[in-house]
Chains A and B, each alone.
Chain A
Amino acid sequence: DIQMTQSPSSLSASVGDRVTITCRASQDIYIYLAWFQQKPGKAPRSLIYAASSLQSGVPSKFSGSGSGTDFTLTISSLQPEDFATYYCQQYNTYPFTFGPGTKVDI
């Protein structure tokens, strides 16, 4: 199975900060990488697919990049509603696997 890692596991930031989260796959997954946001007590929300494409309705302050084994999610200017846990997921090979998550708090 493909292992996904994320760094950092948590970070503290302020409103207006630029935040970058890294995701790494244990083998080449090309661009088959998605990012999800989850707030406490809520279902996940899909943000990005194919490493860098925004899902419908996702604001452009979110951006993704990378290919192969190394990927990043960037939030350009953190807002109060962005404080959440972020997960990456590879969908190149079954079984699909998620990273352990990165918690972004104040």
Chain B
Amino acid sequence: QVQLVESGGGVVQPGRSLRLSCAASGFIFSDYGMHWVRQAPGKGLEWVAFISYDESNKYYADSVKGRFTISRDNSKNTLYVQMNSLRGEDTAIYYCAKDSLRIAAGGDIDYWGQGTLVTVSS
């Protein structure tokens, strides 16, 4: 069965950096694009970024463009997001999610991880 396990969350000061990881199992990781989606406390879902199966395509929300970098290591079945210049409004639960389309430039999400909480506060 598909499993996505996020890690790396915690409390970080404004302006600092943090890297989140998502360990994937139960499917051929190198065949599927992956997404990061976040949810601020008490708020709705916000799509953050997508990376294609082969890293050839990367897309970002305007709110994180230039500050966040999505990447993956297909040899380790792991997805990452490097978050720099963090702001209070980046406080959220960060979910990694699997794209449903194999060998594609992005589509709908079919599986979600349980999320990891990032709190940006001094």
Contact = CB atoms under 8 A, between A and B. Distances in A.
Interface residues of B, number: 23
Contacts of A101: 44-45
B110 A89 contact: no
B108 A98 contact: no
Given A43-B115, A44-B112, A95-B62, A89 B44 contact: no
Residues of A contacting B: mostly: loop
A91 B44 contact: no
A50 B109 CA distance: 11
Most buried by B among A44, A56, A96, A98: A96
A87 B111 CA distance: 15
A68 interface: no
Interface residues of A, number: 24
A2 to B, nearest CB: 11
A35 to B, nearest CB: 10
Interface in B28-42: 35, 37
A43 B95 contact: yes
A81 B20 CA distance: 32
A48 to B, nearest CB: 9
B84 interface: no
B114 interface: yes
Contacts of B27: none
B113 A43 contact: yes
A46 interface: yes
Given A43-B115, A100-B44, A95 B61 contact: yes
Interface of B: 35, 37, 44-47, 50, 59-62, 95, 100, 106-115
